[in-house]
Amino acid sequence: MLFRFRTRNFRSIRDEVELLLVASNLSDLPEAVIETPFAERGALRAAAIYGPNASGKSNLLLAMKFMSTAIKNSQRSWSPEGVSRDRFLLDEESADKPSLFEADFAIDNVRYVYGFEVDSSSVVREWLHAYPTARRRTWFEREGEDFSFGKYFGGENRVIKGLTRANSLFLSAAAQNNHEQLLPIYQWFSSLWLFVSGDRNNLRVMTTQMASEDLYKQMISRLVTAADLGIAGFETPEKQPEDYVRRSLVALKEVLFPEGRPLELPTIKTVTFTHRGKGKTAIPLPSSAESEGTLAYFALLGPVLTTLASGGLLFIDEITASLHPLLAMEIVRLFNSPVENLKGAQLLFTTHDTALLDSRILRRDQVWLTEKDERGGTHLFPLTEFKPRRGENIRSGYLQGRYGAVPLVELSALSDEAHETSSAK
């Protein structure tokens, strides 16, 4: 369960920003709050980030992804030559400053604060503090090559310290050496953080595989048929690879392993949707006949259900990409529902779609906003900073610019340019 994330000097984020997933004292949508002993009013099940294009919404998610990737890969696969970080590029002074990443979270009824700072060549600082009670316990702290370990932190720490490169995280190195105390934290960051951005075709393969398993098939069927897509059900038949794929693999096998046994090609899971026809007729259609919206919704169900089952975190960049707002609302509803979301999974997403700014969908403290300053730096702030009243039309207020974080479009300039273009023709 994530309570807080902060970052600095990453892509468009110059100065420190902090995202809170801790509930405020609002009474809106009480079901959207997870009870926890580590936050007086609980933790939020979901949060949305709004803002104009290029304001840094996606960069906040990318900062979280960088943190997860660094924990997972810095010891195992990062080059010894340095750190490939995306620091703030719009001024020279940021080049020499480290980038910061820190998360405040809970695993198995213990709260932790883990973070690190990196520059272009090495890990500058790294720390992990545990809170089994209200009092902080330092597990380890690092300043460059100097490490200190707390008395409650066991394991072969001195040995692992010697294996930790200057540009790799101690947490990453410890996990590679099966550090018993740190493995749950490593796994939380590396396995339970799931990111969705860009092309979602690869996610369709994930959902198709899950849909063929009894554990998920019924739930996926219920969500698909209830989405008013005209779908009555689906099947997941297997098919052989295309002939050109088969020929290429056979040829490659003959070159690499000419004396080996015959090549056995695996079958591929596909999905065929059944549509309601005239009367009670069910008509099967291949996925190629479906709309982009249907396929986008189906593709997202894989990571959505995986996260709900694991109690992890799902990050979706542009949740309504090729998706009707009502289907995006259904995904948010799944996370906000204590009935559907039994393990306290959390959803963090970016969007431009103001249809989700509805008090029946999101609490006021579940909405965050981004905008850039005159130097090009991203600022992140909560909607509650503007103290909107309960029942206030948040969507209308946002579109009117009452809360900021909307593009300042020079409509007169656009009109003049269009007129000049038309006259030139």
Q: 116-163 pLDDT, tens per residue?
A: 999 999 999 999 999 998 899 999 999 999 999 999 999 999 999 999
Q: What is the distance, to the nearest Å, from the Cα of residue 98 to the centroid of all Cα atoms in its chain?
A: 23
Instruction: Return the pLDDT at 289.
Output: 80
- Distance between terminal CA atoms of the chain? 59
List of long-range contacts for 138-141, beta carbons under 8 Å, 24+ apart: 139/181, 140/170
Q: Is the pLDDT of residue 248 over 80?
A: no
Compute the mean pLDDT over every residue in the chain, rounded to the nearest whole number: 89
Tokens for 375, please give them. Answer: 């130097």
Instruction: Return the pLDDT at 30.
Output: 96
Residue 72 is classified by DSSP as H
Say if CB 110 and CB 133 are below 8 A apart. Answer: no
**Rounded to whole angstroms, how far apart are CA atoms 212 and 109?**
34
Q: 308-345 pLDDT, tens per residue?
A: 999 999 999 999 998 889 999 999 999 999 999 999 99
Q: Is the pLDDT of residue 420 over 60?
A: no
**Rounded to whole angstroms, how far apart are CA atoms 185 and 165?**
20
Q: Which residues touch 410 (CB under 8 Å, ≥6 apart)?
A: none
Q: 189-216 pLDDT, tens per residue?
A: 999 999 999 888 788 888 988 988 888 9
Domain ranges of the chain: 2-192+311-399, 240-270
Q: Which residues touch 377 (CB under 8 Å, ≥6 apart)?
A: 12, 13, 14, 15, 88, 90
Instruction: Return the pLDDT at 414.
Output: 47
Q: 385-400 pLDDT, tens per residue?
A: 999 999 899 999 999 9
The Cβ-side half-sphere exposure at 317, using a 13 Å CA radius, reads 18
Identify which has the larger pLDDT, 382 or 201: 382
Q: Is the pLDDT of residue 2 over 70?
A: yes
Say if CB 19 and CB 5 are below 8 A apart. Answer: yes
**Rounded to whole angstroms, how far apart are CA atoms 194 and 65?**
9
Q: 252-290 pLDDT, tens per residue?
A: 656 667 766 666 666 677 888 888 776 667 787 777 787
Tokens for 79, please give them. Answer: 């080059």
Of the chain, the percentage scoring pLDDT greater than 90 comes to 66
**Rounded to whole angstroms, how far apart are CA atoms 178 and 338?**
34
- Residue identified by tokens 């906040």 is 60
Instruction: Return the pLDDT at 243.
Output: 67
378-382 vs 367-372, strand pairing mode: antiparallel
Instruction: Return the pLDDT at 240.
Output: 63
Cα angle value 75/79/85 (rounded, 5°):
90
Tokens for 208, please give them. Answer: 């198709």
Q: Which residues touch 74 (CB under 8 Å, ≥6 apart)?
A: 123, 167, 168, 169, 172
Q: Is the pLDDT of residue 249 over 70?
A: no
Helix boundaries (H) for 74-227: 157-163, 170-176, 183-191, 201-211, 214-225
Q: Is the pLDDT of residue 350 over 80?
A: yes
On whether the 2-192+311-399 domain is CATH 1.20.1410, my answer is no
**Rounded to whole angstroms, how far apart are CA atoms 176 and 170?**
10
Tokens for 177, please give them. Answer: 């050496």
**Rounded to whole angstroms, how far apart are CA atoms 325 and 333?**
12
User: Quick one: average pLDDT of 82-98?
Assistant: 89
User: Quick one: average pLDDT of 14-31?
Assistant: 96
Q: What is the distance, to the nearest Å, from the Cα of residue 183 to the centroid of all Cα atoms in its chain?
A: 21
Predicted model pTM: 0.89
Q: Is the pLDDT of residue 409 over 70?
A: no
